[in-house]
Structure 1
Amino acid sequence: MARKFAIRVLLILTLYFPMQLSAQQQSQERKIVRVLTFNILHGATTKGDFNLDVLSDVINKANPDFVALQEVDFKTKRARNLDLTTELAQRTGMTSYYARAMDYDGGAYGEGVLSKRPILAARNVALPHQPNSEPRAAAEITVVITSGDTIRFIGTHLDHLKDSKDRMMQVEEINKKLVDIPYPAILVGDLNDIPESKPITILESKWGAAYKDTKLEYTFPSDAPRAKIDYVMYTPKNRWKVLEAETICDEIASDHCAYLVVLELVQ
């Protein structure tokens, strides 16, 4: 009697657990990443004080795998001589990379990137600008996500002037230098222009845009959003699927809403 019961249990275990393992493997094999873009107003808040904990709280609650930060100071006087990218990396438990766009206020001003995954390679891609305009940059990192796939994550901040001449040059440079590279890529940041503008249309000739698969989320200003100028894009267009998107509008942390998008890398 006991022997028959043991055999029956063994058969059940043999049949059941492979199915469970297969389901678990399928879940792990989904290549899902959470990406966040956040213009951090050089560490200041909209109240005029300086509070990195408010910024890190927004990031930690969003639980992203990758973050692109814009308006990031590196050891400037106004940022209390702090390296803001490293400070936020410590507060969020992530690794970081900083791309200087220009010297400023005793330090530098540029782009920051945070990653839950080890950074295998990184580069600072200088973007073109007119002689009297602010320099801009794109911060690119290469990482291996949990599925074992290698991807590139790029954060940038395009020119803010009403005249779009600099933005036009910058998007052309992004399409020239950051698209035709072997690994799939995600491009995020404050692009300082609205959907259907010429610069955004140029980018969308090469990159998919998350808002087209979800809904148009206004990202600026954070206290009453009425314009979309912060984006998540991806290439190749057929390799990424948009699963979710939302804005996180903390009107104290920054004058921009953070923009969170969940993407899946597909075959």
Structure 2
Amino acid sequence: MRKSTWWWSGIVLALLLWVPFSVCGMGVDQERKVSVLTWNIHHGTDHQGRLDLERTAEVIRESGAELVALQEVDRHWSDRSRFTDQARILGEKLDMWVCFAPIYSLDPQKEGEPRREYGLAILSRYPITSFKNHELSRISSLEPERGIQSLPGFPEAVINLKGQKVHLFNTHLSWMDADLRLKEAEEMLDIMAKADHPVILTGDMNALPGTREIHRLEQEMTDTFEAAGEGDGFTYPVLDPRRRIDFIFSSREIRALDSRVIQDVGSDHYPVLSVLEVPKQIH
């Protein structure tokens, strides 16, 4: 009887020692799932010209997005958005980390007031550990006569996603010139190639699938809607969308699990939401 008890005790002890090792070896929580939303919010104004930033926040909240990339965001810009800091307000309403990347930064109308800025924002449920606003070749909407120049407005946020860092980039490519968009795509790829961790690229590309600029991005990255979405993916214009110009791309190691257009009013674009699986990098 003692021998049998000793034998079973040995088996139990071996199992106790083996299970944690085996679980670690199998890689529990080796992948991080995250929902990513991109949206041109048209400075909080819907397709009928009504300013309603609360509606903007509600659409984002209902989507369940954990990482959010916004284009056409005002920061003390003008009366059209009541000179508010839209990025800060949305961050507070959604209880998310927020960073703002101006494309334009102008002197205030009155001395002592904040600078008037317009650009892009990144919001995150997870800590943003670093942030940079890169420059791309652009034609300024404020000074088109100056032609192509280097302007900011390509933000990069490094986000601590449950212990795994990811680089989230946000962009708004030129609506004026297809050749310029191709140049911008090349510049973005050069910048993203320096990333140390998996990459997610979001934004209003102002280009359709099959164009040279989108094809160039697809050569290096995965179009998450193409990989995991259904339907045509049209995002513009609300309420009768006929163009797919809003995209979420990812580096190859990220797997797209789902992607969809959220047909909810709040802007002149519909947002795109993708659920991604980010593998844990072991160093």
Given the alignment, which residue of 78, 86, 89 partners 1:87? 89
1:158 aligns with 2:173: yes
Which residue, out of 210, 214, 217, partners 1:196?
210
8 Å Cα contact 1:222/1:254 also seen in 2: yes
Cα distance, 1:181 vs structure 2:
2.1
Q: Is the 8 A contact 1:136 1:159 kept in 2?
A: no
**Deviation string, structure 1 residues 163-215 (Cα, Å, up to 9, x no partner):** 31221221111011112322111000100000110111111121111122124
1: CA distance between counterparts of 2:28 and 2:86? 35
Equivalent of 2:99 in 83, 93, 97: 97
Q: Which residue among 215, 226, 241 is the counterpart of 1:212?
A: 226
Instruction: Indicate conservation of the 8 Å contact 1:45/1:51, yes or no.
Output: yes
- Cα shift at 1:38: 0.6
> Which residue of structure 1 aligns with residue 66 of structure 2?
65
Q: In the alignment, is the contact (CA less than 8 A) between 1:179 and 1:206 conserved in 2?
A: no
Match of 2:54 in 1: 53
Runs of 4+ in 1 over 4 A off after TM superposition: 25-29, 133-136
Q: For residues 104 and 219 of structure 1, do their structure 2 counterparts lie closer, same or farther at Cα, with a shift above 3 Å needed?
A: farther
Which residue of 246, 252, 258 corresponds with 1:230?
Answer: 246
- CA contact 1:128–1:166 (8 Å) conserved in 2: yes
CA contact (8 A) 1:208 1:233 kept: yes
Return the offset for 1:28. Answer: 4.4
Matched, 1:116 2:140: no
Tell me, yes or no, if the aligned pair for 2:167 and 2:195 is still in contact at 8 Å: no
Please give the alpha-carbon distance, in whole angstroms, between the structure 2 residues aligned to 1:142 and 1:32.
16
Q: Residues 194 and 26 from structure 1, CA distance in 2 versus in 1: closer, same or farther, beyond 3 angstroms? A: same
Q: TM-score, normalised by structure 2?
A: 0.80
The residue identity in structure 2 corresponding to 1:87 is: I
Secondary structure, counterpart of 1:120 in structure 2: strand
1:59 aligns to what SS in structure 2?
helix
**C-alpha contact 2:155 2:171 (8 A) present in aligned 1:** yes
Q: Which has the larger radius of gyration?
A: 2
Aligned equivalents of 2:279, 2:72: Cα separation in 1: 32
Give CA deviations for 1:16-44 in whole Å, capped at 9, x if unaligned.
xx89xx6xx97744311100001000122
What is the root-mean-square deviation of aligned Cα atoms in Å?
Answer: 2.4
Structure 1 alignment gaps of length 5 or more = 1-10
Report matched runs for 1:20-59 at 5 Å: 28-59=29-60
TM-score normalized by the length of structure 1:
0.84
Output the CA distance in 2 between the equivalents of 1:61 and 1:28.
26
1:136-151 alignment to 2 at 5 Å? Answer: 137-146=153-162, 148-151=163-166
Structure 2 residue runs without a partner (length 5+): 1-11, 109-115, 140-145
Q: 1:190 and 1:51 mapped to 2: Cα distance?
A: 21
Instruction: State the alpha-carbon separation in 1 of the partners of residues 106 and 234 from structure 2.
Output: 30
The yes-or-no answer on 1:76 pairing with 2:77 is: yes
Residue 90 of structure 2 aligns with an amino acid whose one-letter code is L
Tell me: CA distance 1:180–1:103, structure 2 relative to 1, closer, same or farther (3 Å): closer
- The answer for the alignment partner of 2:255 in structure 1 is 241
